[in-house]
Amino acid sequence: MKTNIKNFTLNELKEELKNMGEKPFRAEQVFKWLFSDRVETFEEMTNLSIDLRNKLSEKYRIGKFNIVRKLESIDGTKKYLFDVGDEEGNLIESVLMSYHHGYTICVSSQIGCRMGCKFCASTGIPFSRNLEPGEIVEQILAIEKDSNIKISNIVFMGIGEPLDNFDYVMNAIQIINDPKGLNIGARHISISTSGIVPKIYELADKKTQCTLSISLHSSNNKKRSSMMPVNNAYPIEELIKACKYYIKVTNKRISFEYALAKDNNDNLEDAKELAKLLKGMLAHVNLIPINKIEDGAYTKSSNENIIKFRDYLNDAGIVATIRRELGSDIDAACGQLRRQNLK
Ligand code: SAH
The predicted model gives 288-309 an average pLDDT of 91
Whether the CB of 120 sits within 6 Å of ligand 1: yes
Q: Report percent pLDDT > 90 for the chain.
A: 88
Compute CA distances 42 → 1, 35, 142, 338, whole Å: 17, 13, 18, 35
Cβ-count burial 276-298 (b if 16+ within 10 Å, e if not): ebbeeebbbbbbbbbbbbeebeb
Can you tell me which atom of ligand 1 is nearest the CA of 193? 8
Whether the CB of 285 sits within 6 Å of ligand 1: no
Query: What's the pTM value of the predicted model, to 2 decimals?
Result: 0.96
Give the pLDDT of residue 54.
Answer: 98
How far apart CA 307 and CA 305 sit, in angstroms, is 5
Tens of pLDDT, residue by residue over 18-28, are 999 999 999 99
Pocket perturbation via mutation, ligand 1, pick of 257, 328, 339 by most ligand atoms within 8 A of CB: 257
- Is 16 among the residues known to form the active site? no
Whether the CB of 157 sits within 6 Å of ligand 1: yes
Give the pLDDT of residue 293.
Answer: 83
Tens of pLDDT, residue by residue over 39-85, are 999 999 999 999 999 999 999 999 999 999 999 999 999 999 999 99
- Find the 290 Cα to ligand 1 centroid distance in Å: 9
Can you tell me which atom of ligand 1 is nearest the CA of 336? 22
Question: Which residue's CA is the closest to the ligand 1 atom numbered 3?
Answer: 157
Pocket perturbation via mutation, ligand 1, pick of 154, 258, 288 by most ligand atoms within 8 A of CB: 288
20 within 8 A of 168, measured Cβ to Cβ: no
Tens of pLDDT, residue by residue over 79-132, are 999 999 999 999 999 999 998 889 999 999 999 999 999 999 888 778 999 999
Give the pLDDT of residue 329.
Answer: 85
Give the pLDDT of residue 271.
Answer: 98
Give the pLDDT of residue 45.
Answer: 98
Q: What is the DSSP letter of 261?
A: B
Query: Nearest CA to 207 among 238, 244, 251?
Result: 251
Give the pLDDT of residue 188.
Answer: 97
- Find the 38 Cα to ligand 1 centroid distance in Å: 32
How far apart CA 177 and CA 184 sit, in angstroms, is 5
- Find the 157 Cα to ligand 1 centroid distance in Å: 7
Among the listed residues 106, 120, 243, 334, the single catalytic one is: 334
The predicted model gives 141-167 an average pLDDT of 97
Specify the fold of 3-61. Answer: DNA polymerase; domain 1 (1.10.150)
- Taking 60 as the threshold, does the pLDDT of residue 343 lie above it? no
- List, in order, residues 6 or more apart from 149 with CB less than 8 Å away: 96, 103, 143
- Find the 259 Cα to ligand 1 centroid distance in Å: 8
- Taking 90 as the threshold, does the pLDDT of residue 339 lie above it? no
- Is 138 among the residues known to form the active site? no
- Find the 164 Cα to ligand 1 centroid distance in Å: 15
Whether the CB of 95 sits within 6 Å of ligand 1: no
Please report, for the chain, how many H helices and E strands are present, in that order. 11, 14
Q: What is the DSSP letter of 188?
A: G
How far apart CA 100 and CA 129 sit, in angstroms, is 35
How far apart CA 99 and CA 329 sit, in angstroms, is 17
Tens of pLDDT, residue by residue over 325-337, are 888 888 888 777 8
Give the pLDDT of residue 297.
Answer: 85
Q: How confident is the model at residue 342 (pLDDT cuts 50, 70, 90)?
A: low
Across the chain, mean pLDDT equals 95
68-330 and 3-61 share a CATH fold: no
List the single range of 132-136, 214-218, 293-297 with lowest mean pLDDT.
293-297
- Find the 215 Cα to ligand 1 centroid distance in Å: 7
Strands 102-106 and 91-99: antiparallel
Amino acid identity for residue 37 in this structure: D
List the single range of 87-91, 176-180, 214-218, 338-342 with lowest mean pLDDT.
338-342
Whether the CB of 103 sits within 6 Å of ligand 1: no
- For domain 68-330, the CATH class is alpha beta
Domain ranges, ordered by start, for the chain? 3-61, 68-330
Give the pLDDT of residue 215.
Answer: 98
